């Protein structure tokens, strides 16, 4: 089997790394990534090789960018649901705050994906190729309503992401609401290629049965619950979570408090049920804490020290005094977050961006 990971050599977020701005007709290297994929597919078709390929586009990650013609298309369309007056003003908002830019960048990503699917069909590979389209985390641009939170936290807006699959025995136009996680994909691919059984300590389970049977399918995992651990002072409070059936328990690692939600009845996570169901809360908390101890999960203190060490290294590698001053402000970022104990604290909104330099199209990485 041929393996490929299509990721451009030069980082797409040019502003953060001090690179030169990418060309106007390919500002997020979407075209370049797509062309690399198409060439790889053509080569594998000629050789008759089975293959695995991971395609990692830069869109829709910051810094946002798109072709001017695509932006103008959205300027001339009826106003979108989440657009604001500033999106249509001159000068427009900065790239990372501009809805028209975001929409255009998303369309260009869609064009790239469409070209890949068209090439698979052209090469008669579409009937026996699995395509899995998924995001690595929730969005951070103008919210994820009705979900709470977004990128960088374990509210549903940060961990519930769209997943679309096509492939052999996958029913077209069907919908499946069985919860899955990113760590299921390795087990799935291993199952598809007939690999050796995975060790019992591996958390993920194959999704192949669900691909083929939808909501009648089953996932066999060594850890039945879905567990998330994010001990980081970042966009919101550091937290861990466990999802078991409809119920989700979150532990605020900063305060030790817990909240319990029924995700079927309360997808927005607005109604804490921990007082109503104390026994269920205690059971889930015990399971979560036992798992974290068993896998020797990172502690909050260790992650804070690691983050400070990372920033220390960035300061030493600063390109200029101006760049160094910008990096130093990252200490404020984590310290302001550490000082806040609120559950609903949205750091991306609360942070003093004026102090950081809100006019810069990049932001702390």
Its pTM surpasses 0.75: yes
Q: 349: which 2 tokens?
A: 């909104």
| Domain boundaries along the sequence of the chain | 2-216, 226-294, 301-356
What CATH number has the domain spanning 226-294? Answer: 3.30.1120.10
Instruction: Count CB neighbours of 160 within 10 A.
Output: 18
d(Cα 145, Cα 264) in Å, to the nearest integer? 15
Summarize pLDDT for 324-360 with one digit per residue, the tens.
888 888 888 788 777 777 776 554 444 443 443 333 3
Q: 209: buried, middle or exposed (CB in 10 Å: 19+, 13-18, 0-12)?
A: middle
Instruction: State residue 35's pLDDT score.
Output: 95
Furthest-apart CA atoms within the chain: distance in Å: 63
Instruction: State residue 11's pLDDT score.
Output: 44
d(Cα 302, Cα 351) in Å, to the nearest integer? 23
- CB of 285 closer than 8 Å to CB of 279: no
Instruction: State residue 52's pLDDT score.
Output: 93
Which residues are paired to 55 by β-bridges? 6
- Parts of the chain with a pLDDT under 50: 7-16, 347-365
- 146 upstream amide cis, omega within 30 of 0: yes
The helix or strand, by DSSP H or E, that contains position 54, with its residue range, turns out to be strand 51-55
Q: Sort strands 226-230 and 239-244 into parallel, antiparallel or unpaired.
A: antiparallel
Q: 2-216 belongs to which homologous superfamily?
A: Alkaline Phosphatase, subunit A (3.40.720.10)
Going by C-alpha positions, the residue among 78, 65, 59, 70 that lies closest to residue 22 is 65
Instruction: State residue 17's pLDDT score.
Output: 52
- With a pLDDT cut of 70, the percent of the chain lying above it is 88
């Amino acid at each position: 089997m041929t393996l490929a990971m299509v990721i451009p050599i030069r980082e797409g977020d040019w502003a953060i790394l001090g690179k030169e701005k990418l060309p106007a007709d390919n500002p997020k290297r979407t075209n370049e990534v797509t062309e690399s994929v198409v060439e790889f597919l053509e080569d594998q078709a000629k050789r008759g090789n089975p293959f695995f390929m991971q395609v990692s586009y830069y869109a829709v990650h910051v810094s946002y960018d798109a072709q001017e013609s695509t932006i103008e298309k959205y300027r001339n369309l009826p106003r979108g649901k989440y657009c604001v007056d500033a999106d249509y003003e001159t000068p427009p908002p900065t790239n990372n705050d501009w809805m028209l830019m975001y929409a255009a960048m998303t369309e260009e990503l869609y064009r790239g994906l469409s070209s890949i699917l068209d090439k698979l069909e052209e090469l008669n590979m579409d009937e026996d190729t699995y395509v899995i389209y998924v995001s690595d985390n929730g969005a951070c641009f103008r919210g994820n309503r009705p979900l709470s939170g977004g990128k960088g936290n374990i509210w549903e807006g940060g961990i519930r992401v769209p997943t679309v699959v096509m492939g052999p025995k996958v029913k077209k136009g069907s919908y499946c609401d069985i919860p899955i996680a990113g760590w299921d994909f390795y087990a799935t691919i291993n199952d598809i290629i007939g690999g050796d059984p995975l060790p019992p300590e591996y958390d993920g389970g194959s999704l192949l049965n669900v691909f083929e049977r939808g909501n009648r399918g089953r996932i066999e995992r060594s850890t039945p619950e879905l567990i998330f651990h994010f001990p980081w002072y970042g966009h919101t409070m550091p937290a861990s979570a466990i999802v078991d059936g409809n119920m989700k328990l979150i532990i605020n690692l900063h305060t030790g408090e817990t909240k319990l939600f029924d995700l079927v009845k309360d997808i927005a996570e607005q109604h804490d049920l921990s007082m109503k169901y104390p026994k269920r809360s205690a059971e889930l908390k015990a399971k979560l804490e036992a798992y974290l101890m068993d896998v020797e999960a990172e502690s909050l203190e260790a992650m804070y020290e690691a983050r400070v060490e990372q920033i220390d290294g960035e300061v030493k590698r600063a390109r200029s005094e101006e760049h160094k001053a910008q990096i130093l402000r990252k200490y404020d970022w984590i310290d302001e977050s550490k000082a806040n104990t609120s559950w609903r604290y949205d750091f991306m909104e609360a942070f003093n961006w004026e102090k950081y330099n809100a006019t810069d199209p990049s932001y702390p990485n």
